[in-house]
Amino acid sequence: MSTAQALRDPLASARAATDPNATDRSGLLMLDDDVDEPASRTCARNRLEEAFALLRRYAITAERVEGGDPDRIAESLAARRRSLFPDADGACVFVTAADFARSFDADGRLVAPLALHVRGDGVADAARAALRRVGLSVTA
Per-residue pLDDT tens digits for 103-113? 999 999 999 99
Total structural domains within the chain: 1
Mean pLDDT across the chain: 77
Q: What CA–CA distances, in Å, run from 40 to 33, 36, 37, 43, 75?
A: 17, 11, 8, 9, 39
In a domain, 9, yes or no: no
pLDDT of amino acid 30: 77
In a domain, 1, yes or no: no
Domain containing 97 equals 25-139
In a domain, 134, yes or no: yes
Structure-model confidence comparison of residues 90 and 21, the more confident one: 90
DSSP 8-state code for residue 110: B
> Which residues lie closer than 8 Å to 66 by C-beta, 6 or more apart?
96, 97
Tell me: the pLDDT tens digits for 9-47? 555 544 443 333 333 355 777 776 555 555 556 899 999
Strand order in the sheet with 92-96: 61-65, 92-96, 114-119, 26-34, 136-139
Q: Is the pTM of this model over 0.85?
A: no
In a domain, 7, yes or no: no
In a domain, 11, yes or no: no
In a domain, 88, yes or no: yes
Return the ∠ at Cα 47 (arms to 122 and 97), rounded to 5°: 80
Tell me what the mean pLDDT of segment 114-126 comes to: 90
* Closest alpha carbon to 58 in 104, 28, 36, 89: 89
